[in-house]
A and B are shown apart, each in its own frame.
Chain A
């Protein structure tokens, strides 16, 4: 037996305390609260933080510029990874730590094709669409590799993906014969910068498109239901006709696709790749985004929008810290503080205590 049946109680007007409590119980409470805090801090410290201006970039195109635009732009890769990571977390109860390395691979494949094996090109040697599709394909294959290890060989996700985490960047370098090619074709950089005439950074659009795709997928397929079922109870899911292994594998393949798009944006930003440095440590941020979004890292129920919000919160924090000249070497320390707060706040003991405090304060009010 678990907790007792919740017999409906008669509805009464909801007190402020109750509203507050319902809010804190909501899954999106933490990321929204964090975002509100950051916005408030910046509003008070320097409202010009939110200023957005229309400029012309060096190619003569109109572009919007400002911290907010930077946050939206720079968070793109992280948002994409967070989406895939959420699914993987939900289905397999673990995280893929190879996403950074896998981004290097996807980026390397795309660059390799676009450069056609040369070190520097002024025009693309392969159609961009073909190159990106190939990158996505290769990345999905590597995702499947992780997925097979996790779902069929039942290796712990972090251990399984440690393989690619370790080898990925070397594989990426090998794909390009250890060269560091450069693409000078402006068209290649559209995806990472601006499309002429459109003042909003292209990564923002790509991210919106991907979010939209997932919104549709969650609405018009059973991706959400199946993933959650498998993550919560694989045995029961199997007895209801699902194939838990296949579904776990599927989430890793989906993550692979997300990784490839993120990798494409990243190499498109500069038209080059640095295998060791590209998307370094991004896996930790992606996992943090999932946790910030109120998702249990042990799998099961998920809210993809929470993770997306979490990713923007992380970028917002980073941008804020840059603005106030906090040394970038200190960034991990600030993130650590966030993680500690998160972990503490989501601990059952603390939640219990918090609801008690609210309850007693509510009672005190009633007495008064």
Chain B
């Protein structure tokens, strides 16, 4: 029984992750290499959008692959090039090591489009890049923070995975400011590796040692939530009219709601919805139109608890449910509660 269940689970995983359709004459063959969708709400939304866009109805024969490990990504990319995909859509796990893949792609006539993340290569090696401008996100956030006009900035800085595009961009802007201004100080600067639980522990540790702070700059929403959990546990007020300013990044709808409710002060948008833009670029290319710009940045404003509106939440928030009843419930007990449709969209 146990083994059967595991088998069924494993099979389902294989089918849902790596559905490989055979090429159809009229369809555009694309290979999509993305990161692990379970990493964060941002990534889940990003992956879901890609999968929803590159469908057969939409004229695509798409193969998806998800892994955070660049080495695995590279191996799969090479496989896809050999399988003669027309377009290779790539969100690289690391910024380096892609030279061979790009050269192979060029030789095979495969067009490479980067989405979400950049890599280090000459611009001629890819057709287009639809990415977030991480340094700009950091810049926007730090400028917003400076506008708050505090006498002193005592910051708990919770970093993401060290060396990642997002961490480098978001840390860079803050580091520069702290370096430049005497009234800006780090109480602690720690990497929580995108991990909510670690972020909570870091903040709790600062509280335990009795050091004063008035800003939490967390490089994604999950870590911001972990930090807030520590504040709540210690009765420290935060958000609008609170003692501590809470800042997060990405696009999760719950985070935007937290800002809307005034529990958080700021969320820097990192727009995961590149799928449509990538789709348009491909359709244009098929019609013989080159993209106007090589690198296309998403529009990524920051949201302030004073000015955010429900419309913003509805427009930019991601992670709302799509098809709750799409798959069978995971276990027997789950069946007792029929999932109800909730109009969160």
Using a CB–CB cutoff of 8 Å, the interface residues on chain A facing chain B are: 46, 48-49, 51, 55-60, 63, 65-67, 69-70, 74, 108-109, 112-113, 116-120, 125-126, 130-131, 134, 137-138, 141-142, 144-145, 148, 167, 169-180, 182, 193-194, 266, 269-270, 272, 274-280, 318-319, 322-323, 325, 327-329
Contacts and interface: CB of A to CB of B under 8 A. Distances in A.
A177 B210 CA distance: 42
B65 interface: no
Given A141-B5, A142-B6, A174-B12, 6 more contacts: A57-B234, A167-B13, A171-B13, A173-B37, A176-B330, A325-B190
13 contacts: A117-B334, A118-B340, A119-B342, A120-B253, A131-B333, A141-B2, A176-B330, A177-B324, A177-B327, A179-B319, A276-B39, A280-B195, A329-B162
Given A125-B337, A170-B13, A269-B229, A55 B188 contact: no
Contacts of B193: 277, 280, 328-329
B288 interface: no
B302 interface: no
Which 3 A/B pairs are nearest by Cβ-Cβ distance?
A117-B339, A175-B330, A275-B38
Nearest to A148: B2
Interface residues of B, number: 74
B171 interface: no
Contacts of A57: 232-235
Contacts of B44: 178-180
Contacts of A118: 321, 324, 339-340, 342, 344
Interface stretch (B83-91, B138-146, B197-205): B197-205
A51 B235 CA distance: 17
B235 to A, nearest CB: 4
A322 B202 CA distance: 7
Interface string B311-331: 000000001110111110111
Nearest to A326: B190
B151 interface: no
Given A119-B321, A328-B192, A276 B38 contact: yes
A51 B207 CA distance: 12
A194 B38 contact: no
A323 B208 contact: yes
Contact of A180 (B41, B229, B236, B337): B41
Contacts of B330: 108-109, 112, 174-176
Nearest to B5: A141
Contacts of A274: 38-40, 195-196, 222
Contacts of A170: 13, 17, 38
Contacts of B340: 116-118
B200 A269 contact: yes
B331 A134 contact: yes
Nearest to B36: A276
B198 A55 contact: no
Given A66-B208, A144-B2, A58 B16 contact: no
Nearest to B232: A58
Most chain A Cβ neighbours within 10 Å, of B3, B39, B198, B205: B205
Given A58-B231, A178-B37, A145 B6 contact: yes
Contacts of A325: 188, 190
A277 B339 CA distance: 26
Nearest to A134: B333
Nearest to B252: A180
Contact of A322 (B205, B334, B344): B205
Contacts of A74: 201, 204
Nearest to B162: A329
Interface in B178-202: 188, 190-198, 200-202
A323 B209 contact: yes
A234 B192 CA distance: 44
A70 B205 contact: yes
A178 B38 contact: yes
Contact of B344 (A69, A112, A119, A266): A119
Contacts of A138: 331
A89 to B, nearest CB: 22
B127 to A, nearest CB: 29
B234 A55 contact: yes
A55 B204 CA distance: 13
Nearest to A320: B205
Nearest to B236: A58
Nearest to A324: B209
Interface string B1-33: 011011001101100110000000000000000
